[in-house]
Amino acid sequence: MMTPYAKSVCHISSVHAAGDPRVRLKEVRSVSYCYKYAYFVTGDMDAEYKEEEPKSLKVIKVYPGKKGRLVRIFVTAPRCIFKALRTKSDIYHIHDPELLLWAWILRLSGSAVVYDIHEDYVTSISQKSYIPEIFRSGVGQLFGFLENLLSKSFFKVIAESYYKERFPSAVPILNYPILKDLLPVQAFSPDANSVIYTGNVTPDRGALLMAGFHQCSERYDVRFIGRCSPDLYKEFSKDSLSQQKNSPQVEGVGHFVEFSQIIASYAQGNWLAGIAVFPDTEHYRGKELTKFFEYMAVGLPIIASNFPVWKKLIEDQGVGICVPPGDNEAVEKALDWLKEHPQEALAMSRRGKELARTKYSWESQAEKLIDFYQNILDQKKKPSST
């Protein structure tokens, strides 16, 4: 364990859940081992976390929390910033675009500000159902312009490599999984008839495609582990009435699923594959989903959409099979192949674990984050040129 720097870092989010894997479990916790003080200012009022954490980590809750988008943007977000300002931290690390305008208060105080880009918000806006479709492209472009303008004087990190297209100066701190709890798990069983999906359950993330496969298949079940809206779950149930099969099991209807619960689901060890069959959208076709690396770490062969980026990651590295989204017959054939070729499927399982261990670990990214912070502090020490 390295000696802590005599500095402080403050992470701020008005949106993310208290147990968010990237913010709380990866970045904040890694920093709290390396700095004298690490603060996490959050608008999530359920900010208690059960696992033991370093004493240097201080969690600060901000009322009123997530009470609706407008309240969050114009009340919770500025309150988070002013609470953070009181910590007098050397570096402030913000996680939500709604904090960008308010974060200039931190910048004007003389501290460094880091903007953590979790999403390609320009393309994600094209999938927001609450925005009329005719306005989505224009809203996305306007958002992109404002995001670039407001973050211009901030340091930036990105969670996905392809975000470099919009933010070429950003430092990639990629959202790979923490391996210590995943590598010991062997989730794959060649005799299983169930496949697992983990993460938020939404239509744009293939929920209806995968539920449709579940209802059509006579041999295989899909189980979802992640937040799912009650309305979407009702849609699953409604669609199942016209089929011979019950709706898929979902753990997380109406609530956030802690990562520890996801690990426990992997550890059941009765899964034939990890699945992520998404519809083809501009937002997802270039992303390398964190769940892919989790599936690898627990030894699950992957069944995913046949986007070029995904095929390169999955098929070219021999850890799964890619299929056309919406083609239930192709998904069935891919799962049949795994069952009919247990030795080859086991080789996929072992190959995935090895790739996770050697290439796709959060531990490697944590080192990059700490070095990134130190470079920022070193820049602050340099006398300004006149």
pTM of this prediction? 0.87
* Homologous superfamily of the 5-176+362-381 domain (CATH): Glycogen Phosphorylase B; (3.40.50.2000)
User: How large a percentage of the chain has pLDDT more than 90?
Assistant: 73
- pLDDT tens sequence across 18-55: 888 899 989 999 999 888 889 999 988 776 666 677 88
Work out the average pLDDT over 203-223.
95
Average pLDDT of the chain is 91
User: How far lies 75's CA from each of 17, 43, 99, 153, 375, in Å?
Assistant: 18, 10, 11, 24, 33
Residue 76 has pLDDT above 70, yes or no: yes
3-state secondary structure (DSSP) of residue 47: coil
Report pLDDT for 11.
97
Residue 233 has pLDDT above 90, yes or no: yes
Where helices occur in 341-386 by DSSP H, the ranges are 342-358, 362-381
Q: In this structure, are strands 249-253 and 221-228 parallel, antiparallel, or unpaired?
A: parallel
Report pLDDT for 213.
95
- pLDDT tens sequence across 247-293: 899 999 999 898 889 999 999 999 999 999 999 998 899 999 999 99
Residue 352 has pLDDT above 90, yes or no: yes
Report pLDDT for 56.
87
Q: Which of 3-17, 269-283, 299-313, 372-386 has the lowest mean pLDDT?
A: 372-386
Residue whose C-alpha is closest to residue 121's, from 103, 95, 84, 152: 95
**Exposure class string for 362-385: b at 16+ Cβ within 10 A, else e:** beebbeebbeebeebeeeeeeeee
Calpha distance 137→124 (Å, rounded): 10
- pLDDT tens sequence across 102-145: 999 999 999 999 999 999 988 888 777 778 888 888 988 999 99
Report pLDDT for 173.
97
Domain parsing of the chain, residue ranges:
5-176+362-381, 194-358
- Give 3's contacts (C-beta < 8 A, 6+ positions apart): none
Residue whose C-alpha is closest to residue 88's, from 8, 206, 175, 196: 8
- pLDDT tens sequence across 143-180: 999 999 999 999 999 999 999 999 999 999 999 999 99
Calpha distance 57→145 (Å, rounded): 35
Look-up of token digits 């370093």: 54
* Homologous superfamily of the 194-358 domain (CATH): Glycogen Phosphorylase B; (3.40.50.2000)
* Same fold across 5-176+362-381 and 194-358: yes
Report pLDDT for 364.
92
